[in-house]
Amino acid sequence: MIFFTRRERFSAAHRMFRQDWTDEKNSEVFGKCSNPNWHGHNYVLWVTVKGEISENHGFVMNISILKKIIQERIIEKIDHRNINIDVAFMKGKIATTENLTIAIWNELKPEIEKAGASLHCIKIEETENNFIEYYG
Amino acid sequence: MIFFTRRERFSAAHRMFRQDWTDEKNSEVFGKCSNPNWHGHNYVLWVTVKGEISENHGFVMNISILKKIIQERIIEKIDHRNINIDVAFMKGKIATTENLTIAIWNELKPEIEKAGASLHCIKIEETENNFIEYYG
Amino acid sequence: MIFFTRRERFSAAHRMFRQDWTDEKNSEVFGKCSNPNWHGHNYVLWVTVKGEISENHGFVMNISILKKIIQERIIEKIDHRNINIDVAFMKGKIATTENLTIAIWNELKPEIEKAGASLHCIKIEETENNFIEYYG
Amino acid sequence: MIFFTRRERFSAAHRMFRQDWTDEKNSEVFGKCSNPNWHGHNYVLWVTVKGEISENHGFVMNISILKKIIQERIIEKIDHRNINIDVAFMKGKIATTENLTIAIWNELKPEIEKAGASLHCIKIEETENNFIEYYG
Amino acid sequence: MIFFTRRERFSAAHRMFRQDWTDEKNSEVFGKCSNPNWHGHNYVLWVTVKGEISENHGFVMNISILKKIIQERIIEKIDHRNINIDVAFMKGKIATTENLTIAIWNELKPEIEKAGASLHCIKIEETENNFIEYYG
Amino acid sequence: MIFFTRRERFSAAHRMFRQDWTDEKNSEVFGKCSNPNWHGHNYVLWVTVKGEISENHGFVMNISILKKIIQERIIEKIDHRNINIDVAFMKGKIATTENLTIAIWNELKPEIEKAGASLHCIKIEETENNFIEYYG
């Protein structure tokens, strides 16, 4: 069993808030992250897949296939977008990095399995000081 | 003459567009950067001051003074905000990193001079692949 | 179960030596790291907590609470200090990064549990080429 | 149980291809990575060992011993070399990072055990966007 | 006048040597960098252009135009190639980073001027510890 | 004219204070940086030399010569030392990065000129947020 990780990046706007809370309550819980006019980040995404090395080509999974899956399923849908408004797989969820990490796991898992590997970990860095990891 | 650089960071939303252009024209010139629902970045700001070393304390400029100036004049006004909407010193300007760099130069220059040093350079990194520098 | 990591930094002096060893023995085992006049590092600390995502706010743990715990329990006590002399939780221990990592684990674990999460990992980087991880 | 990681670097040329495949087949599977005149990378290698902290010196393993093992067994044999041609422990293998990671694991494991610690993980970064991890 | 820098990366093999020198002489001057079977690097390239900010779009130069120029003139010709053998603009030159930096300057300067900006600096990083800058 | 930069690192303890000031005055001006029991940093040093490219070997200056000069003149004297106590070229100076940068310039300039190049810049990073540059 060997682990292969691909790093990708996307830039997006978001805001943390709950519609069923008052502005005061949102501000108390989420602080400056609930600014009504949005803020944004350069997110860094690491996708780790695992599997046996193929004797055929010496890879766990061909990198061009993994890049294509991440590009089509995630980057094209979230890069230079608003996470709260524009991204279908985040609809109805609080736009925390925790929820985003799990949503991306759910988007990628079936595609990676169709390609013959297993998804091991999704890691998202929101700033250089904070990141989230999810292993399913 | 010696140069002292302080790095600070802020996360903000923005959108590149001109109100006097159609959506098609904005999209043609600014591409995905003109998304109407905004996107955002982790901006990195480097402020370089220059001057003689003080025989009194061995600094060009006391770091705590420079940090306070950058904090009050820039970070508190732009961090976790929308550059197009929330930031007074960017009002009426296209929200490119070029324009942002010059606006921050204009905000900081008089304060740094009041503190006895000279502003040498403002550098802003928008993503790990793009940055702007301005020397006045 | 999801994992949230916060990065913090501190700068400190230290020296590796045992009082019950001669200078020659200390120098033989610890090399230049046992310099009697101390040396120092910019340490980087990663604190990883784990837990379920709260349906209430979408976090594992509110970042402002975790920052406050790390600040009060660790950074205020070790930043710009001498690890061998000034830091109560390192008294009587050889000032290796291994021992420092475990000591910080012991300081943070009860506080993080009081806040409703679990401590998963303490990682400390001493230089860009060396780091230690501890999982309890 | 505590984990100590040492980072080392080496620069090497390589080419991904199988001698029993035509140029067309190699190009189809490996793309530009099969360029017959080679290409190369600055590889980054992380070696993680684990063990109990010695009460004697406070380390898992003396860093100077680990550095010497990695230097003699790996860096001297692969740095500024051609992985396909010059490196005995890669002979007969497709020069993927997956195969390189396992080969380095096999080279280092017995030496680290002779030194009284256990090898936990080999991680190799090929570019800033791709890395492989192997845990045995 | 404002400065805009774009970062790009390429991975290539090379060897430093002079055909009119013996192997001994090459090895004496270039050390391990003259290995006959090549070695390689992940090169990082920074292209800095300068100019006035356009009142039309707020840029020095549209980033998509600069990316296209660098891609077509440099990256497509050198990425995953052998600098000594495959790259026309390095033919007949010793493959040092100094010579590479000047060659890339000469390739890019006329194209950037045709696009209405001025080339200010080419910077190439060969390893994390060494880089070259050229200002014409 | 072309510019070649070499990066080196050293870890050292220091303290900012003036012996002719009271503890209160030192604390007021230098804050936590005047802690009597020292603190320390992982300093990063960039040495930039300039010159014409030699037609003989294609370098500004042979990297092995520059490395040797920096190693012997700076790193061996300051790495894993106390800047205030152990480093002859800092004796009698306040241990600010400004003063350190100029002192290293003075140590390296004659050696680099003896080797046939010119010293262009000394840059020292004290933390990831602060650095000093000196051009003579």
Q: How far is F20 from chain C (nearest CA, A)?
A: 22
Topology of domain C2-15+42-134, per CATH? Tetrahydropterin Synthase; Chain A (3.30.479)
pLDDT confidence bin for F14, thresholds 50/70/90:
very high
Q: Where are the domains of chain C?
A: 2-15+42-134
Nearest to C40 among F12, F85, F86 (CB): F12
> Per the CB < 8 Å rule, is B80 touching A33?
yes
Contacts of E102 in chain F (CB under 8 A): 2, 53
ipTM of the complex: 0.96
Contacts of D31 in chain A (CB under 8 A): 64
Among all residues of chain F, which has the CA nearest to that of B65?
F29
At residue B43, the pLDDT reads 98
Whether pTM exceeds 0.90 = yes
HSE-up of residue D44 (Cα within 13 Å, Cβ side) = 15
> Per the CB < 8 Å rule, is B130 touching E57?
no
Catalytic-role residue among E72, E76, E80, E98: E80
CB B17 within 8 A of CB B30: yes
HSE-up of residue B110 (Cα within 13 Å, Cβ side) = 4
At residue D133, the pLDDT reads 98
Mean pLDDT of D117-130: 98
* Main-chain dihedrals φ then ψ at residue D90, nearest 5 degrees: -110, 0
pLDDT in tens, C47-86: 999 999 999 999 999 999 999 999 999 999 999 999 999 9
Q: Is A80 a catalytic residue?
A: yes
> Per the CB < 8 Å rule, is B94 touching E2?
no
**Average pLDDT per run of 10 along chain A, which is 136 residues long?**
98 96 94 97 98 94 96 98 98 97 98 97 98 98
- In percent, the amount of chain A with pLDDT more than 90 equals 100
pLDDT tens, N- to C-terminus, chain B (136 residues): 999 999 999 999 999 999 999 999 999 999 999 999 999 999 999 999 999 999 999 999 999 999 999 999 999 999 999 999 999 999 999 999 999 999 999 999 999 999 999 999 999 999 999 999 999 9
CA gap C10, C124 in Å, rounded = 10
CA gap D127, F65 in Å, rounded = 29
Best of C7, C39, C76 to disrupt the F interface by mutation (most F CBs within 10 Å)? C39
At residue E8, the pLDDT reads 98
Containing C104, the helix (H) or strand (E) segment is: helix C97-114
| B114 token code pair | 């009041």
HSE-up of residue B25 (Cα within 13 Å, Cβ side) = 8
pLDDT confidence bin for C113, thresholds 50/70/90:
very high
Nearest to C60 among A31, A98, A135 (CB): A98
At residue C20, the pLDDT reads 95
For residues C1-26, one letter each, b for 16 or more C-beta atoms within 10 angstroms of the residue's C-beta and e for the rest, the string is ebbbbbbbebbbbbbbbeeebeeeeb
Contacts of F85 in chain C (CB under 8 A): 37
At residue E90, the pLDDT reads 98
pLDDT confidence bin for F6, thresholds 50/70/90:
very high
> Per the CB < 8 Å rule, is E134 touching F6?
no
The whole-chain average pLDDT of chain D stands at: 97
Best of D10, D44, D59 to disrupt the C interface by mutation (most C CBs within 10 Å)? D59
Q: How far is F52 from chain E (nearest CA, A)?
A: 10
Instruction: Output the DSSP codes for C11-67.
Output: EEEE----TTS-HHHHHHHHGGGG-TT-EEEEEEEEEEEEEPPPTTTS-SS-HHHHH
The whole-chain average pLDDT of chain F stands at: 97
The whole-chain average pLDDT of chain C stands at: 97
Which residue in E78, E126, E135, E131 sits closest to E105, CA to CA? E135
Nearest to C38 among F41, F82, F128 (CB): F82
| Residue ranges in chain F assigned as alpha helix (H) | 23-30, 63-70, 76-78, 83-86, 97-114
At residue B118, the pLDDT reads 98
CA gap A108, A120 in Å, rounded = 11
Residue type at A52 in one-letter notation = E
CB F89 within 8 A of CB F109: no
Catalytic-role residue among D14, D107, D125, D126: D126
CB F42 within 8 A of CB C127: yes
> Per the CB < 8 Å rule, is C29 touching D57?
yes
Nearest to A101 among C2, C48, C63 (CB): C2
Angle subtended at Cα D125 by Cα D124 and Cα D130, rounded to the nearest 5 degrees: 125
Q: Which residues of E touch F (CB under 8 A)?
A: 16, 18, 29-31, 93-96, 98-99, 101-102, 128-135
Residues of B with catalytic roles: 33, 80, 126
At residue E34, the pLDDT reads 97
At residue F77, the pLDDT reads 98
Nearest to C2 among A29, A128, A134 (CB): A134
